[in-house]
Amino acid sequence: MEEVGLEVQAGEIIDVFCRLAGSYNQVHTMWTVMFHCQIVGGALVTTEEAIEVGYFDPREIPSAEWHKDAEERIWKAMNFWQTRFGQG
Where exactly are the structural domains of the chain?
6-85
Per-residue confidence (pLDDT) for residue 2, from 0 to 100: 83
Q: What is the full per-residue pLDDT of the chain (88 aa) written as tens digits? A: 888 999 999 999 999 999 899 888 889 999 999 999 999 999 999 998 888 899 888 889 888 888 777 888 999 999 999 999 886 5
Rounded to whole angstroms, the Cα distance separating 67 from 58 reads: 13
* pLDDT reported for residue 4: 93
CA-CA distance, 34 to 14, in Å (whole number)?
5
Q: Tell me what pLDDT residue 9 has.
A: 97
Q: What is the pLDDT of residue 69?
A: 78
3-state secondary structure the chain: CCCCCEEEEEEEEEEEEEECCCHHHCCCCEEEEEEEEEEEEECCCCCCCCCCCCCCCHHHCCHHHCCCCHHHHHHHHHHHHHHHHCCC
What local confidence, expressed as pLDDT, does residue 45 receive?
A: 95
pLDDT at 53: 92
For residue 43, what pLDDT is reported?
95
